Amino acid sequence: MLLCDAFTRVKPSKDILNVVWMLFHLLGLSANIWAFWLLKKKWNTLGSHKLLLGTSIFSNVFALVVHLYLPINFMLRSVTGLQWSLGSSLCTVLPPIANFALTASILGLLAVAMDNYFKNIHNDEVSSRDAENTTVLVWAIASLLTAPQFCQCGMVSQAYLDAGNCVQGWQYTESGRLYEASRLILQYIIPFAIIGNLFIKVHIYPFGWKNRSKCRRFLSILTDLVTGVFVGAAAYLFPVQTVMASWGRSVNGSPFPDVATVSQVLEFFAVFLCIATPFEFIEILNDEDIKAPCYETDALGEYQPVDQAIKINKGNLSEKIFKEKPSDELLKSLINEEPLRLKNEIIV
């Protein structure tokens, strides 16, 4: 009977979507591992921004691995008929860890976007110390934003668990609703807005040469204006709804969207970025041999660019002299050509 009930609960359309969503997770993991392999291969030829790329790739892998629990739970749901099938202990641990990993992934992508912006627009390379501080800051901010969830681990309603739902009761308190609305702004809205702003500015920069500088300036101001309006509207919608509810004012029928629904949509978008961004990183790393200078560390430990043309010329000369079997005429010309030319100039 149990087997028959399991077959009756199976819905092919939803199961196919769950399988596709899991395959996208595996595709994102493969792409991030490939990007990490390229990063490791070209580690010595990259500047200090390699730390930012490595942080973003590692956080993507971390987020995708942890976030696999959702498609697994969805697949089990069609068999068991329960909304949550992974037990009470995982219900208290997995959501906070998944939010922490997604927050670190978003902030890591924001750091890479800012580095790309300053490198392409202002021609400013980030120093190794700044890259290290940014990496520490990414994980510190992610820890601060998700700390309340870790502090409330274990506070799961047993009644919801018995019904097959993973619900942490503290999220429905007044302070919990305010935290969820604030986290929605700080974890998703503001970083996504800044990333989009920088992405647009980097791509409109090539159109700013000669007589197009005014057009570029106008597009830059318009981008800042749209970003500010978007962040302001989101900050007004979500926290205001929570504050109004805490004051006892009804928000039913108001245009305010549901915080939980919007959070799930933005979480889906964050996971999609974890899957899509490594392909951009792979393209950047593949083009690095052409675009980026070679870096060497100086006495202070900072990465300094080295003129590749000098290295190439030296390499060609060495190859010409030592790898090929030199003739007597070639050696004489290499040794005596310059002194003879100077001597002739002095005589003339």
The series of mean pLDDT values per 10 residues for the chain, 348 residues long, is: 44 72 88 88 78 90 89 79 74 85 92 86 82 92 88 62 65 75 87 90 65 72 88 76 55 52 82 84 67 48 46 44 50 53 51
Whether CATH 1.20.1070.10 fits 3-221+258-288: yes
Task: Give bridge partners of residue 294 from the DSSP assignment.
Answer: 306
Pair 146, 100: CB distance under 8 Å? yes
Contact 236, 258 (CB under 8 A): no
Instruction: Output the pLDDT for position 309.
Output: 42
The pLDDT score that the predictor gives to residue 164 is 59
**pTM score of the predicted model:** 0.72
Asked if residue 42 lies in contact with residue 55, where contact means CB atoms within 8 angstroms, the answer is: no
Compute the residue count for the chain.
348
The token duo for 55 is 């942080």
Report which residue type is found at 191. P
Joined tokens for residue 48: 């200090």
What residue spans define the domains of the chain?
Answer: 3-221+258-288, 296-320
Q: Output the pLDDT for position 6.
A: 43
Burial of 205 (0-12, 13-18, 19+ CB in 10 A): middle
The 3-state DSSP class for residue 155 equals coil
How far apart are the C-alpha atoms of 88 and 95, rounded to whole Å? Answer: 12
Cα 215 from chain centroid (whole Å) = 30
